Amino acid sequence: MKKRVKLTILLFAIICLSYALQPWRVIPSVQGLNSDTIYSKYSPNTPTLNGVIGEDWENANVYVSVGDGNIFDVYLMHDEDFFYIGIRASDPSEEAGDIIKIFFEEGDDGEHGSGSSDYVLTNDQEDYKAIDGAGIRWDGFWSSPYWLIFPSTGDPDQINFEVAIDYHTNRWEAEFKIPFQGVEGQNDKSDLAINRDDVIGIVISIQYSDLTYDYYPSGANVSDATTWLNFTFDDEAPTVSNVTYTPSQPGPSEAVTVTVDVTDSESGINNVMLSYSINGGVTWTDVAMSNTTSYSGIIPKRAEDTTVQFKVTATDNAGFTTESEISSYTVKTLLFGIDPLIFYVIVGVLAVAIVGAVIFLIRSRKPGAPPLPPPTPLQPMPPPTTSAYCIECGTVLKPEAAFCPNCGKKVT
């Protein structure tokens, strides 16, 4: 009798473990703690849970073709009170025994989780959420050396998360809505207690009806938190500022360097893209910007009189994007360092000013004195005459005089 009881207990334990405990795996050695991080993106527009990951997930941050065999697409978003995880998992056949699972590691505060990962699985601190192909929800927590789980068919009031699942041709689509803070007094061991500024551990898994598994991240071990992903929440988009370009007036032989300052205080910058258009914004060409002291990118040289529009788009690791205003310049050959049109305008204005000044000066002159009469022609001068003197008394004699009128001396 005792042997039969022991055998029954052993058989029950094996069944429970085969369903709840994922097998231990030989995984590559981990150098320190896992450095891979996935980010949830804040959105006030949250999805409807109906087992269809559609347009209502368009604001989510998406990780495509990830995990073992690249079978998972993972959608992450959150609002003030809940976070949402959408999971597509490739599966060639629909089985009610298939289970989509999520494991959370939220640290140790001595009660039911501090909210930030410490990369150690602590009894009653870590959480488990799942749904199977039959639509049954599963909740649970870590109790070394395995996960203790219970279905919603047992006590649905103790499960405080929402989830929907449906099969689509060749894949499962499951949508989870999980509160940041669990409901006090309702099985807190299986409820999260985190905030939006926490970084927690996460593993996503699908258990097939034949008890095989696939994981995200690849090679994860649900009993070793150092192999898990970091999971955190981003509420803000990056900041783009100080967009400048040089040279300020490019010529047809000059490429243009665009520089910009980009910052993101939460998930960090994923990429910064420079986009330019030469047809009025009908089409855009993208150039990846590199980061030194600031981000920079180069627009190739363009022909004379080409107008180039450009903008900068920054994307952070949560999928938030920020786009700068559109700037533009027109390619011109400068004359003496001046735009040709401006140069010719300046020359024209100067010419008009000079002509106007000359006309003004001419018209403003005062009338002068009347002109002098022409000079009188010179008359011929008579030849000079020689005077004669009296040799006796020195009196001047007339030319025709025969005697001196003074002394009577005869003129000789």
| DSSP category for residue 92 | S
Q: Tens of pLDDT along 304-354? A: 999 999 999 999 999 999 999 999 999 998 776 666 667 778 888 888 888
CB-based contact 99:139 (threshold 8 Å): no
Calpha distance 139→159 (Å, rounded): 6
Amino acid at 260: V
Fold for 32-234, please state it.
Immunoglobulin-like (2.60.40)
| CA nearest neighbour of 39 among 61, 67, 58 | 61
The length of the chain in residues reads: 412
pLDDT of 39 higher than 70: yes
Give the per-residue pLDDT at 183.
62
Q: How many CA atoms lie within 13 Å of 211's alpha carbon, on the beta-carbon side?
A: 11
Q: Supply 382's token pair.
A: 């008579």
Coil/strand/helix, residue 41: strand
pLDDT score of 7: 43
All CATH 2.60.40.10 domain ranges in the chain, comma separated: 239-330
**Is the CB of residue 41 less than 8 Å from the CB of residue 267?**
no
**Averaged pLDDT, 385-403:** 74
- Dihedral angle over CA of 185, 191, 197, 198, nearest 10: 120
Residue 269 to residue 239: CA distance in whole angstroms = 10
Question: Residue 146, class by beta-carbon neighbours within 10 Å (0-12 exposed, 13-18 middle, 19+ buried)?
Answer: middle
- Please answer whether residues 159 and 189 qualify as being in contact, where contact means their C-beta atoms are separated by less than 8 angstroms: no
Question: Higher confidence at residue 102 or residue 381?
Answer: 102
Q: 395: which residues sit within 8 A by CB, 6+ positions away? A: 389, 404, 405, 406, 407
Q: Is the pLDDT of residue 164 over 70?
A: yes
Q: Any idea what DSSP says for residue 368?
A: -
Structure tokens at 147: 């996960």
Residue 34 is encoded by which pair of tokens?
Answer: 């896992």
For residue 75, report the phi and psi dihedrals to the nearest 5 degrees.
-115, 130
How many CA atoms lie within 13 Å of 47's alpha carbon, on the beta-carbon side?
A: 31
Structural contact between residues 356 and 277, judged by C-beta atoms closer than 8 angstroms:
no
pLDDT over 80 at 62, yes or no = yes
Q: Structure tokens of 172?
A: 């499962």
- Listed in order, the ranges of the chain carrying CATH 2.60.40.1190 are 32-234
Q: Domain 239-330: give its CATH superfamily.
A: Immunoglobulins (2.60.40.10)
pLDDT tens digits, 147-163: 999 898 766 666 889 99
DSSP-derived 3-state class of residue 157: helix
Is residue 59's pLDDT more than 70?
A: yes
Q: N- to C-terminal Cα distance for the chain? A: 206
pLDDT of amino acid 20: 40
Band of pLDDT at residue 393, cut at 50, 70 and 90: confident
Exposure class string for 244-277: b at 16+ Cβ within 10 A, else e:
ebeeeebeeeeebebbbebebebbeebebbbbbb
Cβ neighbors of 315 (< 8 A, separation 6 or more) are 238, 269, 270, 271, 272, 273, 321
In whole angstroms, what is the distance from residue 346 CA to residue 340 CA?
Answer: 10
Q: Is the pLDDT of residue 93 over 70?
A: yes
